[in-house]
């Protein structure tokens, strides 16, 4: 095995550990946006598709690249857009409850 592979493996394991550390602090309230946000991050596969496009040949290669590009772009664009849409819905209490109405109903 080349040193390149070991180097990649090192990066992979360290990133995995960083991921566990950072993500275990996300509250349950945000688990859906977290998953959707992580979803957009794996849209980084688009970078791989660009690299792929620089060396493929022939109709089959082009077809595979076209599909991969469409998949990856849908993943990355849709993922970030929908996560943003969700997160802007998470609001604080707009104004503190009116104290004048506190005595009612007690």
Partner 1 sequence: MTLQDGVRLASLIGASGFVLGLHLMNSPATARRGNQLSALGMLVAVVAVLVEVGHGGTMSAARWLVLISGALVGGAAGLYSARTVAMTSMPQLVSLFNAVGGGAAALIAVADYQHEPSVSAGTATATVLDVLIGCVTFSGSLIATAKLQGYLSQPVSFPGSRASSAVLTLVVAAAGIDVIAGADNAWILLIAVVAAVGLGILMVLPIGGADMPVVISLLNAFTGTAVAMAGFVLQNATLTIAGALVGASGGILTKLMADAMNRSVLSIIAGGFGTGASGIAPVAAGGGNVKSIAIDDAALQLAYASKVIIVPGYGLAAAQAQHEVRELAELLEQRGVEVSYAIHPVAGRMPGHMNVLLAEANVPYDQLREMEEINPEFDRTDVALVIGANDVTNPAARRAGNAVSGMPILDVDHARSVVVIKRSMASGYAGIDNELYSDPKTSMLFADAKKGLASLVAATKAV
For the segment 3-32, give every residue that binds partner 1 (CB under 8 A): 4-5, 8-9, 11-13, 15-20, 22-32
Cα 35 to Cα 79: distance, rounded to the nearest angstrom:
10
Say which DSSP state 24 is in. Answer: T
* Binders in 48-87 for partner 1, by CB under 8 A: 48-57, 60-62, 64-87
| By the rule CB under 8 A, 96 interacts with partner 1 | no
Least distance between partner 1 and beta carbon 99 (Å)? 10
CB-neighbour burial class of residue 83 (10 A; exposed 0-12, middle 13-18, buried 19+): buried
């Amino acid at each position: 095995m080349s040193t390149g592979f070991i180097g990649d493996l090192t990066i992979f394991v360290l990133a995995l550990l960083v991921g566990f550390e950072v993500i275990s602090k996300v509250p349950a309230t945000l688990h859906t946006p977290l998953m959707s946000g992580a979803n957009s991050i794996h849209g980084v596969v688009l970078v791989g598709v660009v690299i792929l496009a620089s060396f493929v040949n022939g109709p089959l290669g082009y077809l595979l690249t076209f599909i991969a590009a469409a998949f990856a772009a849908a993943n990355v664009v849709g993922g970030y857009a929908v996560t943003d849409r969700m997160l802007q819905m998470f609001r604080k209490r707009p104004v503190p409850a009116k104290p004048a109405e506190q005595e009612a109903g007690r």
